[in-house]
Amino acid sequence: MTIQRFGTPTTPGALPFSKAVAADGWLYVSGQVPRDADGEIVSGSISVQARVTLDNLKKVLELAGYTLNDVVRVTVYLDDPRDFAGFNKIYAQYFTAEHAPARVCVQASMMSDLRVEVDCVAYRKP
């Protein structure tokens, strides 16, 4: 089995996990949150945070050579379940019905000012 890691931290004190790990065509993307390029949390409504989070997810997929169309499973963690409808409005702009992955959405207490976190599994034939 060939394993390739993407976005592995290289700075001292960084947490020891990759942004994504590929194994024989499967790509496991770590949880993405609404952080900007400087690592700062982007505050705002669920719409704002969902868009930044899904943009970050897309960037990690592209870093590994995958696209949103390759995603087969998504897990969504919402701090407040009342954000479900607002999140779905943004989510539908990223995942079309033709390439809709399996998905689960759960409520989870978030750290800091996070309202959402998203991870996924993607597949592309090796």
Token digits of residue 100: 């809709």
Beta pairing class for 71-78 and 102-107? parallel
Q: Output the pLDDT for position 33.
A: 96
Q: Is 96's pLDDT higher than 90?
A: yes
Four-CA torsion 75, 81, 83, 89, nearest 10 degrees: 50
List the chain domain ranges. 3-123
pLDDT tens sequence across 5-34: 998 877 666 678 899 999 999 999 999 999
Backbone φ and ψ for 88, nearest 5 degrees, come out as -60, -35
Q: How far apart are CA 87 and CA 26, in angstroms?
A: 26
Choices 3.20.20.70, 3.30.1330.40, 3.40.50.150, 3.60.20.10: CATH for 3-123:
3.30.1330.40
What is the model's pLDDT at position 12?
66
**According to the model, what pLDDT value does residue 11 have?**
61
Q: What is the pLDDT of residues 43-90, one digit of tens each?
A: 999 999 999 999 999 999 999 999 999 999 999 999 999 999 999 999
pLDDT at 112: 81
pLDDT at 108: 96
* Whole-number Å distance between alpha carbons of 17 and 38: 18
